[in-house]
Amino acid sequence: GNSVTQMEGPVTLSEEAFLTINCTYTATGYPSLFWYVQYPGEGLQLLLKATKADDKGSNKGFEATYRKETTSFHLEKGSVQVSDSAVYFCALSDRGGSSASKIIFGSGTRLSIRP
Amino acid sequence: KAGVTQTPRYLIKTRGQQVTLSCSPISGHRSVSWYQQTPGQGLQFLFEYFSETQRNKGNFPGRFSGRQFSNSRSEMNVSTLELGDSALYLCASSHPDRDTEAFFGQGTRLTVV
C-alpha cells in the first residue's frame, strides 16, 4: 500500500542554519504531497503542498519539490528561526477509486532551533 | 472564516466507558475525516464521511464508529474504552470540489484511566 518515510528526529539546529528534512513516498497513481506542521499542544497546520510532478510548494520560507523520479518531497528552509521549532509531517493523499480520500502521514520529525 | 472546531478539547474517561467527540467542519466543506495520534503509532486514519455516508475506513476495531449530520458536522464514538485509546483525536475537513487538501482542528485529547 501507499506509505511515507521521513527522516528520524529529533533534529536540532542553530538559528539561521539551513534545514533539510528528507521525505520519500511509495504510491500508486499520482498522489498529492503535503507538509504539515504541529506546534506543541496544537492540531496540524498545512505548511505547503504540491499536486503534480515537478511542482514546488512554498510557504513561510519553506520549500519542497515533488520529484516523481526519486519519489521524494524533501522540505528545505534557508535560514531557520526559533519559532520554526515544531514537529513536521510529510504526507500524501490516498484517493481511492470511489473518490474517497485519506491522508497517509510519515512518522514526524521533531525540529528544535537553538537561539 | 471559522476553522475546524473540535469539542471538547480535553476529556478524561474511565476504562470501559464510552465517549463521543464532536467536529464542526469549515463552512462549505462536506468531507470530514478523523485521525488518531499516539506517540507509538503516529497519525492513523480512522474514517471519512461525505454527505452523511462513510466512504472510507481505516483499520480500527468496531468500537470506533462515527456519523455525519446533514449540516456536515460529525461525531465519533468510542465504546468500551481501553487504556490504549488514550490519544489526540484530530478531525479534518475538505472541500468536495478541490484538491484533497485537508484542514485540521486542534484536536480532542482523550485520556483513559
H or E stretch at A68: none
Q: Nearest-CA distance from A57 to chain B in Å? A: 13
Backbone φ and ψ for B83, nearest 5 degrees, come out as: -55, -35
Rounded mean pLDDT of chain B?
A: 93
As given in the structure block, the three cell numbers for residue B75 are 461525531
Judge whether residue B16 has pLDDT over 50.
yes
Q: What is the dihedral of CA A106, A108, A113, B3, to 10 degrees?
A: 90
Least confident of A5-9, B96-100, B107-111: B96-100
Residues of B with CB under 8 A from a CB of A: 4, 6, 31, 33, 35, 42-43, 45, 48, 50, 55-56, 58, 90, 92, 94, 99-107
pLDDT of residue B71: 94
- Enumerate the residues of chain A whose CB falls inside 8 A of the CB of residue B92: 44, 103
pLDDT value for B27: 92
Inter-chain touch B106–A103, beta carbons under 8 Å: no
CB A108 within 8 A of CB A89: yes
pLDDT digits (tens, 9 = 90+) for A20-36: 999 999 998 888 899 99
Span A59-99, pLDDT tens digits = 999 999 999 999 999 999 999 999 999 999 999 987 654 45
**B76 vs A30, more confident:** B76
From CA B91, how far away is CA B108, in angstroms rounded? 9
- Give, in degrees to the nearest 5, the angle at Cα A44 between A66 and A72: 15
